[in-house]
Amino acid sequence: MSNNCGREKEKLIMYQAFDKMQRHFPMSAGDGAYSYSRNSQLQREVLDGAKEMVRDAIIEKLDIKSLLSASINTFRIIDLGCSIGPNTFSAMQHIIEAVKDKCHYQFSADSSNIIPEFQVFFNDHVNNDFNTLFRSLPVDRSYFAVGVPGSFHGRLFPSGSIHFAHSSCAIHWLSKLPEMLLDEKSPAWNKGLIHYVDAANTAVVNAYVAQFDKDMEIFLSARAEEIVPGGMMVLVSPFSGYRYLKFFGSSLMDLVNEGMLDESLVDAFNVPVYFPSPEDMTKVVEKNGCFSIERIELTYPQSKLVDEADAKSLMTNLRAVLEGVFINHFGSKIADEAFSRTILKSEDISAWMKANYEKPCQLFVVLKRK
C-alpha cells in the first residue's frame, strides 16, 4: 500500500468541498425536441474529426503490455463530461476497438487469450441525466458500464486505477465564472457582452485565461493521481466553433432594447467557457509536470453544419448546450425567447456564415502519464 493514503484522504475531502461550491449546467436532458441527445451533431463532428487520431495514438503510443499483468486484466476507460449519449457510446466503442487491435499487435503469439475485460466509467456532473444515459446504453456493448457523478475539476477515481482517459467537448467549460467580469469597477467588466470572443478588451480575455489555468491545474492534478504510469489521456476541445455565441448575445440585447429584459441582467451574465489554444494547454501541462505531451495541435475536421452554413441546426445544437446556463440566469421564459429569436434569424446567420467562412478547428491533445 502506498505511503500517502493519509494525504490522499485529505485531498479527497478538499476536492469534494470544491465540487460542492460549483454551479453546474448539464446538457438538456431527456430525448425531447431540444434535448442534447437529439441535438449533438456538432459534438459528433468534433468526435468524428478526432477518431483517426485517437486510434493512431493508441496504436503508436500506448504500451498495453506494461499496463496489464497476470493480476490486472481489466482495462479501465473514463469519459469525462460524457453527457447523455449517443456520442459517448461511439467514442468508447472506438477506443475499445483500437485497444483490442493493439493487444493483437502486442501479443501476437497467442492472440485469442490476451484481450482484457473493459470497464467504462461515464462521468459527468451530478445533475447530468444519468437515467437517460443508462437507458440508452448499447445492448451489444462488450464492456462493463458504470456511471460516475461529479465534477472532473476534482478527484473522481481511486489512485492509479485508470488506463485511458477521454474527454471531448468538455474541458472548455470553466468551473466558475471569473468574478471580475461582473465587477463594474474592474477593467475586465464585460458590459453588454456575454463572452470573451466578442470582447475587444484584453482584460476580459485574461480573466477567462486565468480561470482556465486554475481549473486545468486542478483537473491535471486529479488525473495524475488516477491514471496509472504509462496510461493515456486524450482531450478534444472546440476552438473556432463557438464564434456563434454572439448571436445569442445579440438576441438578449434585442430583448433589452424592447424593454423585455433589464440590461443589468445581461451585464451580469457571461458564458463560462474558454477555448484553449495549443499554447494555453502546453503551458498548464508543463507546469503540472506529471504528463508528457505526445501530440498537441489544432486540427480541421469536416463539418457538414458549417460547410453547408446550416445555421438552424447549428443554433439548435448550441441551444441544447447552453440552455442550462441561460435558464439558470435569466429564467425559462427569457431563455426560451432568446433561443427562439436566434433560431428565427437562421437565414441571416447562414448568410453571415457564408460571407465569413472559417474552417472549423479543434484542439487535439494526447498526454501520457509519466
* Binding interface with a copy of itself (CB under 8 A): 1-3, 5-6, 8-9, 12-13, 16, 20, 68-71, 73-74, 112-117, 119, 121, 126-127, 129-131, 134-135, 137, 139-142, 144-150, 155-161
Between 5 and 33, name the residue whose CB sits nearer to a copy of itself: 5
Q: Is 313 exposed, middle or buried, given 0-12, 13-18 or 19+ CB atoms closer than 10 A?
A: middle
Between 15 and 239, name the residue whose CB sits nearer to a copy of itself: 15
Between 125 and 345, name the residue whose CB sits nearer to a copy of itself: 125
Beta strand pairing call for 117-124 and 144-149: parallel
Q: What is the CA radius of gyration of the chain?
A: 21
Closest distance to a copy of itself from the beta carbon of 127 (Å): 7
- Treating both helix axes as pointing N-terminal to C-terminal, what angle do 245-257 and 332-344 enclose, rounded to 10 degrees? 110
Residue type, 64: I
Return the half-sphere exposure (C-beta side, CA atoms, 13 A cut-off) of residue 164.
27
Closest distance to a copy of itself from the beta carbon of 266 (Å): 31
Between 60 and 117, name the residue whose CB sits nearer to a copy of itself: 117
Between 113 and 356, name the residue whose CB sits nearer to a copy of itself: 113
Region label for 264, one of left (φ > 0), alpha (ψ between -120 and 50) or beta (otherwise): alpha
Between 5 and 260, name the residue whose CB sits nearer to a copy of itself: 5
CB 82 within 8 A of CB 122: yes
Closest distance to a copy of itself from the beta carbon of 211 (Å): 24
- Quote the CA–CA distance of 360 and 102 in Å, as a whole number: 31
Closest distance to a copy of itself from the beta carbon of 139 (Å): 6
CB 314 within 8 A of CB 343: no
Choose among 220, 245, 264, 253: nearest CA to 318: 245
- For 172, 215, 338, the CA distances from 276, given in Å and listed in that order, are 7, 12, 27
Closest distance to a copy of itself from the beta carbon of 246 (Å): 34
Closest distance to a copy of itself from the beta carbon of 201 (Å): 38
Between 73 and 292, name the residue whose CB sits nearer to a copy of itself: 73
Instruction: Quickly tell me which residue has 465540487 as its cell.
Output: 19
Closest distance to a copy of itself from the beta carbon of 339 (Å): 24
Return the half-sphere exposure (C-beta side, CA atoms, 13 A cut-off) of residue 232.
24
Residue type, 293: I
Closest distance to a copy of itself from the beta carbon of 369 (Å): 15
What are the two backbone dihedrals, phi and then psi, of residue 145, each rounded to the nearest 5 degrees?
Answer: -100, 140
Closest distance to a copy of itself from the beta carbon of 115 (Å): 5
CB 103 within 8 A of CB 190: no
Return the half-sphere exposure (C-beta side, CA atoms, 13 A cut-off) of residue 17.
6
Between 115 and 327, name the residue whose CB sits nearer to a copy of itself: 115
- Quote the CA–CA distance of 307 and 309 in Å, as a whole number: 5
Between 161 and 206, name the residue whose CB sits nearer to a copy of itself: 161
Between 71 and 108, name the residue whose CB sits nearer to a copy of itself: 71
- Quote the CA–CA distance of 314 and 46 in Å, as a whole number: 13
Closest distance to a copy of itself from the beta carbon of 17 (Å): 8
